Amino acid sequence: EDKVVQSPLSLVVHEGDTVTLNCSYEVTNFRSLLWYKQEKKAPTFLFMLTSSGIEKKSGRLSSILDKKELFSILNITATQTGDSAIYLCAAGRGNNDMRFGAGTRLTVKP
Amino acid sequence: DAEITQSPRHKITETGRQVTLACHQTWNHNNMFWYRQDLGHGLRLIHYSYGVQDTNKGEVSDGYSVSRSNTEDLPLTLESAASSQTSVYFCASSSGTYNEQFFGPGTRLTVL
């Protein structure tokens, strides 16, 4: 059975801290790994990773995929209160659907 | 600008009633998806469609149905609403070239 597991489920840090969010996956016909940020509304796209070992970066956020060990990490450096959100990881399959993890709820305190 | 919209945004209904949630996208995407989101479960796929007249069951399809008569719309119907279907429902679409999906704003459904 396909599954995507995220850890930790919740995390509380202070502004300026660096955080690492984890996502492991086991899906058939894996094609891509996606990260989304969800605040009080719809998920918004952050990254899509298809190749192992190539880091994608956007400002203070970065992510990398390991297709051999079947996991991805999302790093956020110098966290800000605006980073507080649920971060969702999803494994995209060859038939264009995705399996989502349960999410990591990040709270950044001032 | 292209977008994806859902209606209604909030709905309260009674057990046993039929409910239809609308999803409309102007991206001209072939692929459309319905998810439900519940605490502790993330997003779970209900039904999806790869094009007009195509529909497929997802991981939690029991009690739901969809139909795809045009590219822009994928309405989700709850045949006989149950309290277990109280949830937030998201519609999404993708072009199919890559897996990135664009999400609608969500519909909060309460079944009493």
CA distance B40 to chain A (A): 6
- CA max distance for chain B: 41
Higher-confidence position of B99 and A43: A43
Please check the confidence at residue A20 and state whether its pLDDT lies above 80: yes
Interface contact A31, partner B, CB < 8 A: yes
B11 CA to centre of own chain: 14
Chain-centre distance for alpha carbon A12: 16
Question: Chain A contact for B102, CB < 8 A?
Answer: yes
| Of B83 and B96, more confident | B83
User: What confidence tier does B39 reach under pLDDT thresholds 50, 70, 90?
Assistant: confident
Is residue B97 over pLDDT 90? Answer: no
Does the distance separating the beta carbons of B100 and A48 come in below 8 Å? yes
What pLDDT is attached to residue A69? Answer: 94
Q: How many CA atoms lie within 13 A of A14 on its CB side?
A: 0
CA dihedral B22, B97, A95, A69 (to 10 degrees): -120
Q: Which residues of A touch B101 (CB under 8 A)?
A: 45, 98
Q: How confident is the model at residue B75 (pLDDT cuts 50, 70, 90)?
A: very high
Inter-chain Cβ pairs, chain A and chain B, closer than 8 A: 51
* Long-range pairs, A103-106, Cβ under 8 A, ≥24: A103/A6, A103/A9, A103/A38, A103/B42, A104/A6, A104/A7, A104/A8, A104/A9, A104/A10, A104/A11, A104/A21, A105/A9, A105/A10, A105/A11, A106/A10, A106/A11, A106/A13, A106/A19, A106/A21, A106/A76, A106/A79
CB contacts, 8 Å: A44 with chain B: 103
> What is the structure's pLDDT at B20?
98
Query: What is the model's pLDDT at position A96?
Result: 67
Q: How confident is the model at residue B1 (pLDDT cuts 50, 70, 90)?
A: confident
Contact between A96 and B100 using a beta-carbon 8 Å cutoff: no
Instruction: Compute φ and ψ for B62, nearest 5 degrees.
Output: -60, 130
CA–CA separation, B95 and B30 (whole Å) = 6
Single-letter amino acid code for the residue at B75: P
